[in-house]
Structure 1
Amino acid sequence: MLAAQFIKTDDGQLYKKTAQGVLLRCIDKSTSEKVMEEVHDGECGPHMNAHMLAHKIMRLGYYWTTMKADCRKYVRHCHNCQIFANVQHVPPLMLYTMTSPWPFSTWGIDIIGKKLKIKHHKSSPYRPQTNGAVKAANKTVATILRKMTDNYREWPEKIPFALWRYMTSIRIATEATPYYLV
């Protein structure tokens, strides 16, 4: 049954056939390490998590049987990913109601699923509901820049690469890249 997913061509190259009919080239361990390195932290690699790294590699047309485990191991050993990871160092606690003093009376709370965001409600008059999305995108691009550069002087020359990385990374909600959606 598993063998039905694989195809061997006349020249001896092995391919895995996906459910959508796409052929992914099967590669060996040394080639897979090079591919992971280039996709994860190469010139246009956004230092994504292991799940996104495996998806991006498959979108590029490569496959090997231990891909997900290898991607997980690679990301766990990436120095920049460990330094700039968004880690919660505080255990969750019970929430208590409290009144806010006058200067904070214009603040609001947005609850989206299990996420809680507190923001100030001074928005632009044109499209105030998009300010949160813009802030989130800017935060992501800034994180990518931090992972790519050693100091702030390198940021201007790395911005186009960071934006390319951001636009070609798959989003979980849409299962597509922003570049593809546009």
Structure 2
Amino acid sequence: MHETHQGPCGSHSAGRALVIRIKKLGYFWPNNDRDCEQYSRRCDKCQRHAPSIHVPAETLSSISSPYPFMRWSMDIIGPMVSSGPKQFQYLLVLTDYFTKWIEAKPYQQTTELEVRKFIWKDIICRHGLPFEIVTDNGSQFIARTFKDFCKKWNIRITYSTPRYPQGNGQAEATNKTLLSNLKKRLDARKHRWSEELAAVLWACRTTPTKATHETPFSLAYGLEAVIPTETSVPSLRRMQCPANVELNEEMLRDHLDLIDERRDQALIRIQNYQQAAARYYNSKVKHRRFHIGDMVLRKVQDYTKEPVQGNLGPIGKVPTSLPK
């Protein structure tokens, strides 16, 4: 096995391939399948250079919100191409878990002070005090002054697991949407992304989401926003309501009376969407159990790679014992 697996002609093949290769050479012994599997699993070089495991080890845990603007996700996009006279390079983004309403603002540098100002002006003063903000472990978010600010307003901060962006999935989904829309609008004018940001946010707020089947604007305000399509090709409300005060008031009353029902339906759709996503995700789960004292390989991060090794360096470093 040693010669076939890692000898001069060995390719460090996995257990099944190792068994087949040995059998083709004409060798056989009882339990050779099990022996080859165990040998390849215990090979130090195979473990250090094996690709990262992407199969989920635990079931999906979803985060929801029972009413608008209760829970927000927060993240920073950047650095990006410098944009505008002020040379903006970063984008601070917050997303409401219920309505999917997005608030975002460009910055030269996203300091802790700028984050506090943004939450005060664009979140608290516009949408009220949130119950919770979910974010990553960025230096701006773990600063003592930021924690004191949230404590002052009774805002709970929940931090996602370091080096695991899926822990703040709502923020990652919003970032993907914003960047995709900006790319399609800018073409070769990448330095103008800060100028197009307002239009992208408007488009996101007036587009139905997959989870709720409603627009963030309608879940927040109770009726749909008037978009340019309704002015170029007048809709029914554009033709009738401005000229008929009574009809306009009746329509507004109907929308306000139905807003609670629409939000309840949106909440049910969100829960159904999350359950469907969880069923799909959990079907791929392969549980891995570890105990204190087990020897594991610590993954090599980009900032810990040795430059001289380049892409030929190992995936895992020296074996480490799991601490208490």
Bin for the TM-score computed over the shorter chain: 0.3 to 0.5
Answer with 1 or 2: which has the greater Rg.
Answer: 2
TM-score calculated relative to the size of structure 1:
0.33
TM-score calculated relative to the size of structure 2:
0.20
